[in-house]
Amino acid sequence: MKASQQQQETLLDLSQIDLQIRRNHLALEAISNSDEIQNVRAALMQHSEALLVQRNALDALELDLSRAAQDLELVEVRIEKDKATLDQSSNPKDIQGLQHELVSLAKRKDTLEDAEIVLLEKVEAGKNELAAIAKSRDDVQRDLDKLEHEQSAEIAKLKSGSALLVEDRNRAKANLPAELADHYEKLKARGVGVARFSGISCGVCGMTLTGSGLDEIRSTPMDELAHCSECSGILVR
């Protein structure tokens, strides 16, 4: 197929542009599917779940503390009432019964106060744990925000670069005859490229050419396309 030296150089440029477009596409895929970001997102999810579990646990403790406080208040009210009744009573049997009940209520009060202290300590520890998990989650969130910002910037950069490359490709292809451009596109669809011919080896597949394959390239006129006998790549001399 006829192709001037300039057209062959254009084919070489077109091949390099397509190679860079492919590299950009692969880089875009890699960045969009970043393992690092996926891992940080998974860590954030774990921290969020831990935070929810801790909040629920703390809510349960605070509910128990509230119930204990209410029970203690009821006991204290009952003690005060019994004391008032005792002070006004003159019936020995009633007095004995009230005294016995006050002893029981005092023990109940001690038990509730001890339980309240334990619950207060657990609530305080729960709050500290919740704060620690929340801080850790916030740290992971900041890491994720930073990574996603960098990812977005890199994606925008690659897309912008790819758009410019597409413009360069269109301009280069427009400088080629339709037949030559179609020939290139067909080879490209098969994964065949364009490269320099060093004199003995193919710049496309890297094979060292010998015998008839080498003779065929050397005998091809400079204004015609030369193809590698091994990979069918276009060799620009």
Q: What is the pLDDT of residue 198?
A: 87
Radius of gyration of the chain (CA): 42
**Contact at 8 Å (CB) between 15 and 115?**
no
Q: What is the four-CA torsion angle of 191, 194, 195, 196, rounded to 10 degrees?
A: 150
Q: What is the pLDDT of residue 95?
A: 87
Q: What is the pLDDT of residue 227?
A: 94
Tens digit of pLDDT for each residue in 32-75? Answer: 999 999 999 999 999 999 999 999 999 999 999 999 999 999 99
Structure tokens that stand for 202 in this block = 């193919």
Average pLDDT along the chain: 95
Do strands 226-227 and 234-236 pair parallel, antiparallel, or not at all (unpaired)? antiparallel
Q: What is the pLDDT of residue 182?
A: 96
Tens digit of pLDDT for each residue in 126-141? Answer: 999 999 999 999 999 9
Q: What percent of the chain has pLDDT over 90?
A: 91
Phi then psi for residue 6, to 5 deg, are -65, -40
Under the phi-then-psi rule, with left for phi > 0, alpha for psi from -120 to 50, and beta for the rest, what region is 64?
Answer: alpha
Cβ-count burial of 127 within 10 angstroms (0-12 exposed, 13-18 middle, 19+ buried)?
middle
Alpha helix (H) ranges present in the chain?
A: 5-32, 35-88, 92-174, 178-189, 211-219
**Contact at 8 Å (CB) between 51 and 133?**
yes
Q: Which residues of the chain have pLDDT under 50?
A: none
Q: What is the pLDDT of residue 163?
A: 97
**Contact at 8 Å (CB) between 80 and 71?**
no
Q: What is the pLDDT of residue 89?
A: 86
First to last CA, the chain: 15
